[in-house]
Amino acid sequence: MWGIHLGSLARRSAAVLVLAALAGGSCVRNPPPVEPEPTAPPPGAEAAARARPDTPAPRPSPRPTAPQPPPPVLPEEDEFTARSLEEINRDSPLSPVFFPYDSSELDAEAQTVIQANADVLVQFPTWVVTIEGHCDERGTPEYNLGLGERRALAVRDHLVRLGLPASQLRTVSYGKEFPFVPGSDETSWAANRRAHFVITAQ
């Protein structure tokens, strides 16, 4: 649902995205003010506009007054383009895929999530996404490096089957080295058995 919403934004913003990316690193470092004055562009955007006069400076626009029904709430078009990779990833439009214990199988739920992520990625052909494979703490550190790789590859291969270009997708395994949730219970373990999407290039 929000994928469609995003798509309509994305088609218009694709050019802006590319240009913003070309404008260099200065604009991606500084987050726009949370509640911007309508007339004051973010300082980063200003610098970017100066650095490259033909770059349209992103306009801050007010957030939608009516909240979108389901999470995740997508940022507004222009805000999105001005956001750094760090910020986009912090509030990522791409959902993690979860796995059963010691498995890289994609069940129906996992495939639904991957489909939704594919719908987003189709709209942002310039994005490069790294699929991180993670494991829970119960396996050995050595074997888990392979298991994480398998999880990342399984998701990558499924996205390619859905038509995404492999050039847009990278994989990395972190085994059990970077857990998302501390704790030694089934809830934590389940949250850590995942393929996590990180947007590594706009």
Partner 1 sequence: MKNPSRSFALTVSLALSAAGAVVLTQPQDDAPIPERSQVDLIIGDRIGSQPRFAVPDCLAPGGEPELVSAGRILAQVLWDDLEFEREFRMLPRDTYATVPPARSVTDLPFRAWQELGADGVVSCSLTGLPDGRVSVQARLFNTRSLESAFGVEYSGTLRNVRVYAHELSDEIHRQQRGLEGVARSRITFVSDRDSESALGLVENRRTKEVYVADYDGANVQRVTVSRSLNVTPTWSVNGRAIAYTSWRSGPPDVFISHIYEGRLESPLGGTVEVHNWLPSYSPDGRYIAFTSNRDGNPEIYISRTDGTDLRRLTNHPGIDTSPTWSPVGLQIAFTSNRTGSPQIYVVGVDGTGLRRITFESYCDRPTWSPAPYNEIAYASRTGPGYDIKVVDLATNEVRQLTFGLGSNESPSYAANGRHLVFSSDRSGDRQLFLIGRDGRGLRRITNSGNNEMPGWSK
Residue ranges in contact with partner 1 by CB under 8 A: 85-86, 89-90, 102, 138-143, 145-147, 149-150, 153, 170-175, 177-178, 196, 198-200
* Least distance in angstroms from the C-beta of 146 to partner 1: 4
Write down the H helix ranges in 23-84: 26-29, 43-51, 77-82
Q: Would you say 109 or 177 has its CB closer to partner 1? A: 177
Q: Would you say 64 or 100 has its CB closer to partner 1? A: 100
What angle is formed at CA 29 by the lines to CA 53 and CA 125, rounded to 5 degrees? 75
Q: Would you say 46 or 89 has its CB closer to partner 1? A: 89
* Least distance in angstroms from the C-beta of 196 to partner 1: 8
Q: What does the DSSP 8-state code read for residue 167?
A: G
- Residue environment code for 56-84, b if the CB has 16+ CB neighbours within 10 A, otherwise e: bbbbbeeeeeeeeeeeeebbbbbbbbbbb
* Least distance in angstroms from the C-beta of 47 to partner 1: 22
Taking phi over 0 as left and psi of -120 to 50 as alpha, with beta for the rest, 63 belongs to beta
Q: Would you say 44 or 139 has its CB closer to partner 1? A: 139
Chain Cα centroid distance, residue 15: 19
